[in-house]
Amino acid sequence: MITIRLTRVGKKKDPSFRVIVVDASKKVKTGNYLEMVGSYDPRTDRVELKADRIKEWIQNGATVSDTVHNLLVSQKIIDAKKINVLPKKTVPKVEVAEAKPASAPDSAKATTGEESSGEAKEDNVVAEVTATE
């Protein structure tokens, strides 16, 4: 599968990118790509793309990475909507509290001595210990 994607070039803390066409099954090393079809400098927002070559690769079945897709949309090379490339935030799961049976109120259980849960027994034990001290 052929992919159009970015590869980083430049010095440390001075990023610039090449837009390259590469076989997706191989790792990208320096100079190990099929064709360089443009460049992108995010610090100055300079984008240089070969629109005709990119369109030809896409017609021949090349896929486009999300970031390059957004660059192509902003440069009006392709007509589509931009893709959100940021990770989706996960919504914390809310645990549902277990419903207690509504057959008898808690005060009635305490006065009659009926306890159905271990928590109620522990509360009574703590109350007895503090009362005897």
Mean pLDDT, consecutive 10-residue segments, the chain of 133 residues?
Answer: 92 93 82 91 93 94 93 92 82 67 57 53 52 52
Number of structural domains (the chain) is 2
Same domain, 11 and 60: yes
Residue 96: inside a domain: no
Instruction: Report the pLDDT value the prediction gives residue 87, as an integer from 0 to 100.
Output: 78
- For 41, list phi and psi in degrees, rounded to 5: -120, 105
Please tell me the distance from the alpha carbon of residue 90 to that of residue 104, in angstroms, as a whole number: 40
Same domain, 69 and 108: no
Instruction: Report the pLDDT value the prediction gives residue 58, as an integer from 0 to 100.
Output: 94
Residue 9: inside a domain: yes
Which residues constitute the domain of residue 114? 101-133
Please tell me the distance from the alpha carbon of residue 70 to that of residue 102, in angstroms, as a whole number: 57
Same domain, 51 and 111: no
Query: Residue 29 CB: number of other CB atoms within 10 A?
Result: 8
Same domain, 70 and 105: no
Same domain, 70 and 8: yes
Instruction: Report the pLDDT value the prediction gives residue 15, as an integer from 0 to 100.
Output: 93
CATH of the domain at 53: 3.30.1320.10
Instruction: Report the pLDDT value the prediction gives residue 121, as an integer from 0 to 100.
Output: 53
